[in-house]
């Protein structure tokens, strides 16, 4: 299934944690576009992910050296597959995949389809492009099972790898696209974080504890912790990690 121009996958890879907009771009290599049949787009994107993992500097984990990129391949494959299947093809733009040292961003044209939101992506289903969804599923090497388990499994494999859960940015932040962030950061136990802070500052407020441990205030749904049915932890996590992009880094008490 071949598509028109501006419906491919644009891949960019950066040094560091942020995209430098002025001066010399902090690109590892020239951005490139994956085009052609959608199944090939997904396959080539996953192949590139594998090459980035293989090239990443090794780090010592216990007594074994492992790639510094810990994001599971399955999580990336699910994110890029969802982007290809559920993007808005009426929008003349590519899916953008951005590799940073501490995360991978997958941004697809068009806002969340139907009734979908960051809060219900693990439990609900809605196919913007049902014919494409079914057509891909018929291939023997299909990247999707079409049984509605993909996003939930993506959360699970990230958790099993001791990484933070995928972050789905809400439409109030990205009104014309769906942005999914896979953090290449090990989850830190809350007490370890608080203890490290107290060693330097000696005292800590409840608000500061929530901020540095990435524990959000209760969401409107009443959920107290991360995970289903609430995925609102971006409100605390992203301003803290990326103040230049998502806020000033402060969290309310």
List the chain pLDDT tens, one digit each, 253 residues: 445 568 999 999 999 988 887 788 899 999 999 999 999 999 999 999 999 999 888 877 667 777 788 999 999 999 999 999 999 999 999 999 999 999 999 999 999 999 999 989 988 988 899 898 888 888 877 776 555 678 989 999 998 998 888 999 999 889 999 999 999 988 766 766 776 787 787 778 878 887 887 766 654 443 333 333 334 445 545 655 555 555 543 333 3
Mark 148-167 as b/e (b = at least 16 C-beta within 10 Å). Answer: eebbeebbbbbeebebbbbb
Shared domain for 202 and 226, answered yes or no, is yes
CATH code (residue 136)? 3.30.565.60
Residue 125 in any domain: the answer is yes
Long-range CB contact pairs, 159-165, < 8 A, 24+ = 159/187, 160/72, 161/70, 161/71, 161/72, 162/70, 162/186, 162/187, 163/70, 163/71, 163/187, 164/214, 164/237, 165/226, 165/227, 165/231, 165/233
Shared domain for 172 and 221, answered yes or no, is no
Shared domain for 72 and 167, answered yes or no, is yes
Domain stops at, among 183, 199, 231: 183
Domain stops at, among 145, 165, 183: 183
Q: What is the pLDDT of residue 41?
A: 95
DSSP-derived secondary structure for the chain: ----SS-SEEEEEBSSSS---SSS--BSS--EEE-SSHHHHHHHHHHHHHHHHHHSPEEEETTEEEES----HHHHHHHHHHHHHHS-TTS---EEEEE-SSEEEEEEES---TT--TTTTTT----SSHHHHHHHHTSTT-S--SSS-HHHHHHHHHHHTTBPPPEE--TTTSTTEEEEEEE--B---HHHHHHHHHHHHS---HHHHHHHHTPPPPPTT---SSSTT--TTHHHHHHHH-HHHH-SS----
Residue 252 in any domain: the answer is no
Shared domain for 169 and 224, answered yes or no, is no
Shared domain for 96 and 211, answered yes or no, is no
Shared domain for 134 and 239, answered yes or no, is no
Residue 47 in any domain: the answer is yes
Residue 1 in any domain: the answer is no
Residues 6+ apart with CB under 8 A from 157: 72, 74, 75
Domain stops at, among 183, 202, 218: 183
Q: What is the pLDDT of residue 142?
A: 72
Q: What is this structure's pTM?
A: 0.76
Shared domain for 165 and 196, answered yes or no, is no
Residue 39 in any domain: the answer is yes
Shared domain for 173 and 53, answered yes or no, is yes
Q: How many separate domains does the chain show?
A: 2
The whole domain housing 154 covers: 9-183
Shared domain for 157 and 212, answered yes or no, is no
Cα-flanking dihedrals φ and ψ of residue 195, to 5°?
A: -60, -45
Shared domain for 31 and 132, answered yes or no, is yes
CA angle centred on 41, ends 100 and 58, rounded to 5° = 35
Which structure tokens are listed for 68?
Answer: 């510094």
Query: Rounded to a whole number, what is the distance in angstroms from the first to the last CA of the chain?
Result: 51
Q: What is the pLDDT of residue 40?
A: 93
Residue 3 in any domain: the answer is no
Residue 253 in any domain: the answer is no
Q: What is the pLDDT of residue 226?
A: 36
Residue 94 in any domain: the answer is yes
CA 166 to chain centre: 5
Shared domain for 62 and 142, answered yes or no, is yes
């Amino acid at each position: 299934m071949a598509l028109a121009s501006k419906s491919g996958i644009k891949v960019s890879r950066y040094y560091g944690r942020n995209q430098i907009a002025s001066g010399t771009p902090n690109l590892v290599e020239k951005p490139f576009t994956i085009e052609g049949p959608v199944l090939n787009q997904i396959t080539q994107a996953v192949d590139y992910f594998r090459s980035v993992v293989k090239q990443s500097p090794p780090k010592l984990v216990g007594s074994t050296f492992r790639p510094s990129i810990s994001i599971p391949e399955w999580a990336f494959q699910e994110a890029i597959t969802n982007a290809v299947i559920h993007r808005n093809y009426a929008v003349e733009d590519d899916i953008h995949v951005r590799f940073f040292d501490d995360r991978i961003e997958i941004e697809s044209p068009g806002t969340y389809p139907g009734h979908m939101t960051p809060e219900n992506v693990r439990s609900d289903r809605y196919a913007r492009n049902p014919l494409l969804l079914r057509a891909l599923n018929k291939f023997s090497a299909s990247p999707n099972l079409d049984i509605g388990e993909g996003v939930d499994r993506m959360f699970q494999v990230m958790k099993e790898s001791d990484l933070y859960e995928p972050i789905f940015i809400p439409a109030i932040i990205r009104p014309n696209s769906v942005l999914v962030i896979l953090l290449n950061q090990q989850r830190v136990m809350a007490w370890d974080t608080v203890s490290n802070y107290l060693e330097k500052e000696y005292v800590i407020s409840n608000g500061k504890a929530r901020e540095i441990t990435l524990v959000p205030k209760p969401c409107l749904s009443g959920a107290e912790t991360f995970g289903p049915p609430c995925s609102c932890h971006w409100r605390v996590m992203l301003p803290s990690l990326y103040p230049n992009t998502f806020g000033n880094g402060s969290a309310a008490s």
